[in-house]
Chains A and B, each alone.
Chain A
Amino acid sequence: MSIRRFRNSLALTVLLAAAGDAGAQQLSEHQLVNTLGQVAEAASAVDVAMLAQELAANPGKGIASLPHWSRLATLPQFFVEINFENNSVAIEPGSYRTLGLIADALHHPLLLRYKFLVVGHTNATGDAKHNLDLSARRAEAIAEALGTTFSVAPNRLFSIGVGSEMPVDPANPKAADNRRVQLLNIGLVK
């Protein structure tokens, strides 16, 4: 099971879309658990406050190479597509299942000791400040839904929105592919 496969949001989107029957659903939940559980021995916990600080101090310059942000690339993670109503934090019913799959994975014994960061990304269409704000509120909405409706302990969940500061496709910042949700295992719960 390679993490790299999940770097491509399309791969998981297709996987989730195909997860109609119980067998396929089982498979993808196991894949999420395995992907998120591949923690390197030496991994140190990520400081979310430092991520927010770096983000705020570097508007419009991109964040992927900043000291704290660059470390995220080494963490167990995957990308999913979660759809929202236009300009809103309301998650579309069509994306409830994706949240449910994430919740099932986070309730698995292999992942119970870990905390997770939800990162919201937009593409570069529209006002950058607005994108940043909306992506933060949407990431927070996902963490909130996981922490309440889906009963994941809220002290295991963190969220941050980066707008279009970290495009998956830097050559095409306006491409729709850049709109995505990233979920990372950021280390042991204290």
Chain B
Amino acid sequence: MANRLSVFSGTVLIAVLVQTGVGQTQTISYADAATLLAKECGADVKKFCKGLNLGNGRIQNCLAQHQAKVSPACTSTMVGVTASIQQRLAAQASVDKICARDAARACRGVVPGKAHILGCLLKATRIVGAKCSQAITDAGWR
């Protein structure tokens, strides 16, 4: 997935992350990411990418191809949004591991299954540590 989305280079990425205030610990939902993209890139999409569907990187590739003409706000939004979505996906993938010890302590006897364990962890605020708590927040599962 990373290679599909990372149209832009890493050096630009860091500059833009600072600029747009998308910090390392902040992840955003797909809904908010999509809203930002529509807001900052909607006009460019309609101008340069007519008839193209969002899927399979077509819009990202199209905007990258027209980068010279695409608005700077769109370019930076695309980079920031892509990075924070990657972080959220990474957080979602890592919750099980990061929270394993807390789950073993707090959720003994809970019916197995990701959703049940999550429900237990969300309630066990006294036992769940900061790292697990942050991972759940970053995953967007609060």
Q: A93-B46, A96-B37, A109-B118 are in contact. Are A144 and B53 (CB under 8 A)?
A: yes
The answer for the CA separation of A93 and B46 in the assembled complex, in Å, is 8
B142 vs chain A, min Cβ distance (A): 8
Chain B residues 24-81 with CB under 8 Å of chain A are: 29-35, 37-38, 41-42, 45-46, 49-57, 59-60
Question: A127 interface residue, CB < 8 Å from B?
Answer: no
Q: Are A112 and B35 in contact (CB under 8 A)?
A: no
Confirm or deny: A15 has a beta carbon within 8 angstroms of a beta carbon on chain B. Answer: no
Residue of A nearest to B4 (CB): A148
Give Cα A22 to B89, complex, Å.
19
Tally of contact residues, A, Cβ under 8 A = 32
Which residues on the B side are within 8 Å of A18 (C-beta)? none
Q: Check A62 for interface membership: any CB of B closer than 8 A.
A: no
Query: A181 CB to closest chain B CB, in angstroms?
Result: 14
Contact A97 B53 (CB under 8 A): no
In the complex, per-residue mask of A97-111: 1 if CB is within 8 Å of any chain B CB, else 0: 101110110011110
A64 within 8 A of B: no
Residue total for B at the interface (Cβ-Cβ under 8 A): 35
The chain B residue with its CB closest to the CB of A87 is B51
Contact at B51–A149, with CB atoms within 8 Å?
no
Q: Which residue of B lies closest to A106 (CB)?
A: B30
Contacting pair B141 A108 (CB below 8 A): yes
Q: B92 to chain A: which residues have CB within 8 Å?
A: 107
| Set of chain B residues within 8 Å of A88, measured between Cβ atoms | 51
Q: A93-B46, A99-B34, A101-B30 are in contact. List 11 more A-B contacts (CB 8 A).
A: A22-B32, A93-B42, A99-B30, A100-B29, A109-B114, A109-B141, A145-B55, A148-B57, A149-B54, A151-B1, A151-B89
Interface pairs (15), CB distance under 8 Å: A89-B51, A90-B51, A90-B53, A93-B46, A94-B38, A97-B31, A99-B54, A101-B30, A104-B31, A107-B30, A112-B115, A145-B53, A148-B56, A149-B56, A151-B85
By a beta-carbon cutoff of 8 Å, the part of chain A in contact with chain B is 19, 22, 25, 29, 85, 88-91, 93-94, 96-97, 99-101, 103-104, 107-110, 112, 141, 144-151
